[in-house]
Chains A and B, each alone.
Chain A
Amino acid sequence: MTWETVMGLEVHVELSTKSKIFCSCTTQFGGEPNTHCCPGCWGMPGTLPVLNEKVLEYALKAGLALNCEITRYNQFDRKNYFYPDLTKAYQISQIYLPFARNGYVDIVTRSGEEKRIRIHEIHMEEDAGKLIHSAYGDYTYPDFNRCGIALIEIVSKPDFRSSQEVIAYLEQIKSTLEYLGISDVKMEEGSLRADVNLSVRPLGSDKLGIRTEMKNINSFKSIERAIDYETSRHIETLETGGLLVQETRRWDDNKGKTFSMRSKENSRDYRFFPDPDIPPISISEEFLLQLKAQQPELAHEKKVRYMSQYGLSEYEARLLTESKFLAKLFEETVELSKNPKETAVWMLGDMMYLMKEQSLEASKLCISHEQFAAFITAVASGKINRTVAKPIFEKVFASHDFDVNKYIKANNLLQINDEDIIKQVAKEVINENPGTVDEYKSGKNKVFSFFVGQTMKKLHGKANPSTVNAIVSEELEKI
């Protein structure tokens, strides 16, 4: 039987506000355990939560950019549970009136397939603390620094059919939120977390199978592996007549497997009710229009513009716009160099290679767009040739204050275009190698590149390659 995988995603995103959602503690990552806490985020009796206005602003920006309908009358609700990742025995969330609904994201997968993924809803909530388990005793030590950091949870419809689609969706969400400047979206620091709901069904069926939810997946690579593993587990269980249970499973990255969490997570009764401590929030049309007007050009919009304005391919435009930092560098460099094609070539080739080699994120690049533009101009105008250019680019890439033109001058790297000089050197090479000249004359065309190579070498790699080619060929014909 052919099976189809059906998936839905719950994406938690930490908003990059300075203070927590309902109190004034810092949201800074790390810090000594329980030093970013106060009676407010510890839920002590007598404290009152007061909503951070930036949280609402950031959340609404995300909702608008993800094409959602915005709820005008908002409320917060309590999700009650006893678990030591928070002290007050409930999490403040939005259950009945999520601030955004019915949105969508248009994705393009790596293989070029286009698809619309629907967003069911987005709600605001507070993050819980981190539990540190003792390796020796029967104890757990909660760190509540993360407790009360603002989150939005983006809940998709079950529209995914492959891990490729899931990755494309996450990349797009990540990029959109990065462009909006509302989150660090770092999976490894937990500011972007994805839970995958997965079920399988016979291809063609419109009934959903038993689904499991996978938690604790913290990289794109792991998401792909977890989906592959869980899909095979479902299919194998069903094909061997086994029974699937609807449950939450934890992804273990080292073992490459999912494990049942065995908690009562699924049957838990959260006894939701509106939080009487937080007055309702009304959102005006005016405020929404104002936020909409502030929305920057997003990755998919930039991509389309790059293709028409700069004549880049879909692939090139996509890679350049995925990160706002790369797009910014590209635009600033082109502004000065007036050469989008050459700029794209170096960014997508040598620069991406170096970034990958050094595991460097786009936000951490120290290349200066002025020097990069000077470099592009030097290459494009023939001031330096490509052999010389490569190591120079590495220097431009590595340091913000590397001076391209000064370096070219100081190291005498200007491209040699002077035909008389090239001709003289080519003649020398021919005179010094009579044997090879004979070989050439007897029809062994392959040795032609020997003469070009030797001439280039004598000119320290700085000559214009096409001129060298033409002159060597000309000189050999003369003999």
Chain B
Amino acid sequence: MKISKEIVREMADISRIKLTSQQENKLQEELQELVGFLEVLNELDTENTQPLTHLFQISSVMREDRIFPSYDRTALLKDTPEHTDETIVVPKTVE
């Protein structure tokens, strides 16, 4: 699979990050390498292999429906880049 500039830009766009053209070039190279590495898998015959989604053979791990006290709001907000006393602050999402 060829990683084009368009793919790099699209991925940046969905991830809501801005890239300089230098960063674009660098990421294009790195991603190409990564995809090349994964392409080794295509050489294997996986016809009769089930997709592996979990490494451990455990299932149905659940908890009781019980309420525990929530976290202190101040503590949750403390490490965010920008916040008020009640919420984090993000750029406006509507026009």
Which residues of A are at the interface with B, using a C-beta cutoff of 8 A?
17-19, 24-26, 32-39, 42, 50-56, 75, 81-84, 131-134, 137-143, 262, 268-269, 271, 274, 276, 278-282
**Chain A contact surface mostly:** loop
- Tell me the complex Cα distance, A35–B61, Å: 27
**Interchain Cβ contacts under 8 Å between A and B, 7 examples:** A18-B65, A33-B86, A52-B65, A54-B64, A54-B65, A133-B94, A279-B54
- Tell me the complex Cα distance, A36–B90, Å: 20
Residues of B within 8 A of A280 (CB): 53-54, 59-60
- Taking A52-B62, A139-B89, A276-B53 as given, write out 6 further A-B residue pairs in contact, using a Cβ cutoff of 8 Å, ordered by the A residue number: A25-B67, A34-B87, A83-B93, A139-B92, A142-B88, A271-B14
Q: Are the C-beta atoms of B70 and A33 separated by less than 8 Å? A: no
- Tell me the complex Cα distance, A276–B66, Å: 24
Instruction: Tell me which of B51, B56, B87, B95 has the highest count of chain A C-beta atoms within 10 A of its own C-beta.
Output: B87
B37 contacts the other chain (CB 8 A):
no
Given A50-B62, A143-B87, A269-B14, A131:B70 Cβ within 8 A: no
Q: Are the C-beta atoms of B92 and A26 separated by less than 8 Å? A: no
Q: Are the C-beta atoms of A32 and B86 separated by less than 8 Å? A: yes
Which residues of B are at the interface with A, using a C-beta cutoff of 8 A?
10, 14-16, 51, 53-56, 58-68, 70-71, 73, 76-77, 84, 86-95
Q: Closest CB-CB distance, A447 to chain B, in whole Å?
A: 72
The 8 closest A-B pairs by CB, nearest first: A54-B65, A24-B68, A274-B53, A53-B62, A141-B87, A38-B71, A84-B90, A82-B16
Residues of A within 8 A of B61 (CB): 50-51, 278-279
Q: Are the C-beta atoms of B93 and A279 separated by less than 8 Å? A: no
Q: Are the C-beta atoms of B84 and A141 separated by less than 8 Å? A: yes
- Chain B residue at smallest Cβ distance from A54: B65
- Chain A residue at smallest Cβ distance from B75: A39
Partner of B59, one of A55, A131, A279: A279
Residues of B within 8 A of A51 (CB): 61-63
Residues of B within 8 A of A82 (CB): 14-16
Q: Closest CB-CB distance, A471 to chain B, in whole Å?
A: 67
